[in-house]
Amino acid sequence: MNLKNDWQIHLKSEIHQPYFLELMDFIHEEYQNFTIYPQYNHIFKALELTSYHDSRVLILGQDPYHQPGQAMGLAFSVPDEIALPPSLKNIFKELKNDIGIDNTCGDLSSWAKQGVLLINSIWTVRHSQPLSHKDRGWEKFTDKIISLLNDKSDPMVFVLWGSYARTKKKLITNKRHLIIENVHPSPLSSYRGFFGSKPFSQINRFLMDNNYNPIKFSTRSTS
């Protein structure tokens, strides 16, 4: 495993831990024997696009999309030629209601390049089998990343949508950070408080209050 940018330094000891080596052995075998998402070379795309130093916002998902062509290594994001999944549709609906941006392209790479770290707690999944890689070690790896971000001296925003993501709140103990938590944007729960919660204006207000540039949340289709 070759991490890019400063994550190499911050995760150097973690990726040599026995649990992580076992996880990588398991993942290699899974990719050889099953259809796994995202593509193997996209597993760590979120870390490639958003360095530790540049991370200003963490948006945490649970599990990659498990249908063909959707997962791309960034939580909630899909390639721009792929139809928007229901949760992302609702995220974009709230984005428009909150700050007036009307996105149709589901590729969130532009967010990642501005410091929005888009990671799932579980980083891989079998085709049509959600949570199939649960309890294999990914959760421990993600908890380490959250803890490292919590240790940052620079203020950050942690966005926790859904009951699972909100369990990670206990790892965010640094009072300089902002935690935004709510129900998940999926159709099953979005009407129980996600709509109208205005997370995007909260994010940018906090960043500007701390002398950072606001995130430009518009996406652009490259097709």
Catalytic residue set: 63
Instruction: Determine contact, residues 217/102, Cβ cutoff 8 Å.
Output: no
HEC profile of 147-216: HHHHCCCCCCEEEEECHHHHHHHHHCCCCCCEEEEECCCCCCCHHHCCCCCCHHHHHHHHHHHCCCCCCC
Name the nearest CA neighbour of 85 among 75, 70, 95.
70
Instruction: Determine contact, residues 121/139, Cβ cutoff 8 Å.
Output: yes
d(Cα 167, Cα 182) in Å, to the nearest integer?
12
Task: Report the DSSP pairing between strands 157-161 and 178-182.
Answer: parallel
